[in-house]
Amino acid sequence: MSKNIAIGVDIGGTGIKAAPVNLKTGEFTDDRYRIPTPQPSTPDAIARTVAKVIAKFNPSKKVPIGVAFPGVVQHGIVKTAANVDDSWIGTDLRAIIRDYAGHDVHVLNDADAAGYGEYKFGAAHGRNGSILMTTLGTGIGTAMIVDGTLVPNLELGHIIVDGHDAEDRAAESARDRYGYDWDQWIAELQKYYSEMERLLWPDLIIVGGGISKSHHMFLPKLRLRAPIVPAELLNGAGIVGAAAAAAAEAKREREEAKLAEKAAKKAAAKAQASS
Ligand code: BGC
């Protein structure tokens, strides 16, 4: 695997997907591999599946691997699990994946990964201002990128709209749950995005998740102040963003190690000079 490739893994409510990503272009360098999310979606069952999708690409230890998780991930620890098994809460995501996959990984929230992916290579490429990424799937994931900086772990899919957790009515899964036709679902989306605009005033709204493939069915019908556009990386944004974030983290770690080495050398030289 070449130097400019990282692997992205996206853990979803229904599927666990992975692909190697070209870090210069954001394109997959091999076909995406998907395994249905095991049920119950416990830490062991998911970590075992993540290990399988990683093994499919047989990466060397040097290849950065990013894993996107559908809940809050703070400093590597899972804090919420709205759409996977509750036993995830409090789990060290990085450690459990490392145990099963035999690989060090970088971990982050799935919507944060998707937002980062769209900022690096997609609909928000290089754009300044406040960009709101939303993913419509089993739940609603949200991320904000402000002048290129990601604000992690925003959980704005759970704001209360009409007395309900927004994702219950406006995620893609709500269409099946309530048997909504397009117009009914669009009415829920309108309420949700109007509320987001009222609170956040984004300059651009991006819509990802599997349903973004059918964006022409619903995006033109939403009446909003900001432009609302489909994710350019479609459902691959999470994979691409996880891979890019892992590569960025690996670079940061290398630079930090270099600085620490330099500082240690300097301190040793000083100690020798004064002895
Ligand atoms: C979770 C978020 C996640 C989103 C999309 C929500 O239910 O709380 O953390 O990003 O689903 O998976």
Residue 135 Cα: closest atom of ligand 1: 5
Residue 153 Cα: closest atom of ligand 1: 9
Pairing type for strands 164-165 and 5-11 reads unpaired
Cα separation, 83 vs 79, whole angstroms: 13
Ligand 1, atom 1, residue with closest C-alpha: 71
CATH of domain 5-112+236-264: 3.30.420.40
Evaluate whether 5-112+236-264 and 123-232 have a shared fold: yes
What's the whole-model pTM score?
0.94
For the chain, 275 residues long, give each residue's pLDDT as a single digit of tens: 678 999 999 999 999 999 999 999 999 999 999 999 999 999 999 999 999 999 999 999 999 999 999 999 999 999 999 999 999 999 999 999 999 999 999 999 999 999 999 999 999 998 999 999 999 999 999 999 999 999 999 999 999 999 999 999 999 999 999 999 999 999 999 999 999 999 999 999 999 999 999 999 999 999 999 999 999 998 899 999 999 999 999 999 999 999 999 999 999 999 999 87
Predicted pLDDT of residue 2: 73
DSSP 204-254: EEEEESGGGGGGGGTGGG---SS-EEE-TTGGGHHHHHHHHHHHHHHHHHH
Predicted pLDDT of residue 85: 96
Interval between CA 140 and ligand 1 midpoint (Å)? 6
* Ligand 1 probe mutation, 46, 83, 135, 172, most atoms within 8 A of CB: 83
Helix (H, G, I), strand (E, B) or coil at 267: helix
Tell me, using a 6 A CB cutoff, whether residue 115 lines ligand 1: no
Tell me, using a 6 A CB cutoff, whether residue 235 lines ligand 1: no
CATH of domain 123-232: 3.30.420.40
Ordered by start, the domain boundaries in the chain are 5-112+236-264, 123-232
Predicted pLDDT of residue 234: 86
Interval between CA 112 and ligand 1 midpoint (Å)? 10
The helices-and-strands tally (H runs, E runs) of the chain is 7, 14
